[in-house]
Structure 1
């Protein structure tokens, strides 16, 4: 977990940008939907490829899709169906911060993740 000791926003941003690789996973947590929160007794979970999420903030709010990739370096996720149009007309994926989405369905192919969540 990234330890942020200062109240100053510039130092908080700097701590996020300069976080070690093994600490960046804590920056990739997103809140769970109410149903999943009750089922697993957890408020948030680390987002991985294959999870289904719903965007709740920004220009793409209301859009649901599966997570195509996780950009650990920038602490962002790429969601299927969330894209922007470039000046030449091509569509490119729009990375989104995990705090702006809620997880509606979990990818439980990895058995370790299911055990960690403590589900059925």
Structure 2
């Protein structure tokens, strides 16, 4: 049973929309899950990946324990290039290997005020969905309201 009749279930149309998506939508499509520690800290499950995040590859040929910094996010190809993951080309030069963000885990976030605001907003929505912090007053807010 479909929830929304406006959204198509067609594989062909979904693939077309995915691969012809504009850059601002590809940013969201290129999200990576956060590590267990970050998930506990921020109460958010995944974030769009960006340059200078530290990630660990958890699936595929390059999976391992080493942590690398994201060198480039190549939205056109849906891949990220990671610091230590390179291979040698036929002419001897080294080239980065593209890894899909869903196969990585973000270990350390590059933080700025906009990203902090996104984390706060998403954590607040997650708490509301779980039923916590929903329309409840704490002692501090109740006393603050009485005094003002």
Same fold (TM over 0.5): yes
Larger radius of gyration: 2
Q: Using structure 1 for the length normalisation, give the TM-score.
A: 0.85
Gap regions ≥5 residues in structure 2: 1-6, 124-148
Q: Larger helix proportion, structure 1 or 2?
A: 2
Larger relative contact order (C-alpha < 8 A, sep ≥ 6)?
1
> Could you tell me how far apart the structure 1 residues matched to 2:115 and 2:13 are?
33
Q: Which of 23, 41, 55 is residue 57 of structure 2 equivalent to?
A: 55
2: CA distance between counterparts of 1:37 and 1:7?
33
1:1-120 alignment runs, 5 A limit: 5-6=8-9, 8=11, 10-62=12-64, 63-108=66-111, 110-118=112-120
SS at match of 1:92: strand
Task: Give the alignment's TM-score, normalised by structure 2.
Answer: 0.70
Gaps of 5+ in 1: none
How far 1:79 moved relative to its partner?
Answer: 0.5
**Number of paired residues?**
114
Deviation at 1:7, TM superposition (A): 5.0
Which moves more between the two structures, 83-92 or 45-54? 83-92
- After superposition, the CA RMSD in angstroms is 1.8
